[in-house]
Structure 1
Amino acid sequence: MTRTVFTGGSVFDGTGADPAPADVVVEHGRIVDVGTDLDGDEGVDCTGTVLLPGLFDCHVHVTISDIGLLSRVQKPFSYQFYEAARNLWATLGLGITTVRDAAGADLGIKQAVDDGLIPGPRLQISIGLISPTGGHGDAWNPSGLCVPLMVPHPGRPETTVDGPDEMRRVARTLLRAGADVLKVCTTGGVLSPRDDPRHSQFTPEELDVLVTEAAMQGRPVMAHAQGAAGIKNAVRAGARSIEHGIYLDDEAIELMLGHGTWLVPTLIAPVNVVRAADAGVDLPPAVVAKAREVVEAHRDSVRRAYAAGVRIAMGTDSGVGPHGTNLEELALMAACGMPPGDVLEATTSSAARLMGLDGELGRLEPGLRADVVVVAGNPYDFPALAANIREVWKDGIRVV
């Protein structure tokens, strides 16, 4: 097997330390050495570049490409799978080699990537969005018509539940369908016109059943949670991560610290809703009003959470906004007071820890899988980062 050495560049190893000159040697899809003056059978000239570990996005929706009501009802059912292939390719081109799909992708999409049928980041999937009747994932409209973002099908079962028994049944159904993580709405949201992000959804009893079912199969729970009360319910129940966290209060932050709960901020998500509305996308007025209202509260919550020491991993909610623009999130994280090294750590080794992959990915060190991103210029220049991606390697193979 060829021994490939990346020479002449600097290395950001994923730990948050600033880049330092080093070579990286890859063999059999693994990193076998990191240091200076290393050799190999083939060389990749990285002069003037910085090597990063493969990046992560811990909150995407690869089967969703737009949020407008009219465009959704006009697309054939199977079109979403071809869109997913396009969206995965756009994400991989940014150096993002691992994603967590927060509802939409089924086991077939994940397996197609794993088997090499389509190029893309490796996936962890949640398959569906568990919601109560009238909750964030309920597709009911005042007309009486239901227009879901994700239409149920054999690989993506219906996930609207009420009560502990239905919660148990749906949790087991999703796990049977191949879910790596279970996604639940413990509050309302921005895109659902008939609820409020500050209002709670699901009782502690229902959430306890969900977390118990997931834990019995060695699976975590990720909680769409925007209001403080619903965030606290999710944390107390044992959710591994809080997605969005728009209205964090001091008690919620303290609970997250005490339970070791992760925050996946998705700061770009409400910004993208506002952009879509300004561009003329057909969205309910209530949705647009909520998006405009939450932006600053969201940023303030992330600032306070980071300052308090809450563990943060990068996520974007891409699908709500365009796939292929994921790295816009990094500048927003930096604007919340995170130093550049911490932002990249949240996008590499911290994200790997959240997803339980830190023994395989997230750092450039011997023994780990050889996901390597070659960046021209300064990797801390986040607005220019996407344009500066020169090469992307996944498991020791150049894919971009």
Structure 2
Amino acid sequence: MAELLPNLITLGVVLAILRCLGVFSKASNLRRLPLPPGPRSEFLIGNVRHLPAGSPWLQYAAWRKEFGDIIHLKVPGNHLVILNSYKAAHDLLDLSPKYIDRHQLAIADQLMGWNRMTANSAYGDAWKLHRKLMRPTMNKAAVERHALILERGMRACLLQLLHSPEGFQEHIRLFTGKIIVMFTYGLKIDSTKDPLIAVPEAQFARVISLILPGQTPLVDVFPSLKHIPSWFPGATFKRNARIWKKELTDMVTQPFNRVKADIAAGAAVSSFTSKCLEDNPQADDEIIWSAGSLYIAGADTTHAVLSIFFLAMATHPDVQRRAQAEIDSVVNADTLPTFEDRVNLPYIECLLKELQRWLPVVPLAFPHRLTEDDFYEGNAHLVAATCFIYRIFV
């Protein structure tokens, strides 16, 4: 028995090295096809030193000229595959169910609990229920039902912009925050200092700093480290993760509980959460996290798009004049455009699409996890279980 432990340790080390070297993936590659091209990997550490620390999508897009539409990077225990074209992303992510799962990061997802959010959730029953809850709100009719809330919010924001244009960032932060909080929870807020705006911003900024390739904590490179005790020297990440997990849970639970209290008091405003509670009274946990997913994703991204719009109009005054002229030709000076006016505003439609192309809010999409080996266009082998697929929106 005394000799068994050293033997097991030796076996574990050997298996870990073989996995890093890709021996197991070669055994499953019956067609003997190569992995997609990419920067030359180094012994044991693979492409760790090639991962860009900041704005990785720019480096990935630049590599397209050298390696093509699909790029492969190897890090210990994992393969990263970057899709650099619409065709590759459409063929793999849109058409194949093999790519439906999500990669689970050790710190963000498993220790901090972000895998309870819809976008981070592994494919399974919880993810399906989230999608079922959200589907009725993600269509044109549902958005049009909230048109009055949008119009009131826009008018208030426009008045603030007219009276204090120097504070435009705060005004649009409040506008987008009020809209998403009202839509998700039916709760009113009057300041960007309100925890319903400030807390999600802080949570989102924290998790982004942990998940970008090139900024990956050591525990995500070697996930087995997540099992070390929190009191162990160097396990600060685990102690922090416990605190951050509670903060994340409180962030989505507190507004949910406020909605339940308002429903009990007969004072609830119609919202995504109140409607879900009415239709699915036994699904509290799924409602909490699906509502939280809408809540944390909506305000930050919308605020970013509006900020990009201000930048575009300030740097392209000719575009601003043409857009304003089209609006003036369709609606009166004292009214705002409606959804019915959209068909008569083709230039505005193109402007909105260009905003998302020019400076994408999420240039590096959430990674997809491949669930079984795949082969693309007859010349590239994609490895299941350890293959995480990123889509570049540049």
TM-score (norm 1): 0.22
Structure with higher RCO (Cα < 8 A, 6+ apart): 2
Q: Pick the structure with more helix per residue.
A: 2
Q: Pick the structure with more strand per residue.
A: 1
Larger Rg: 2
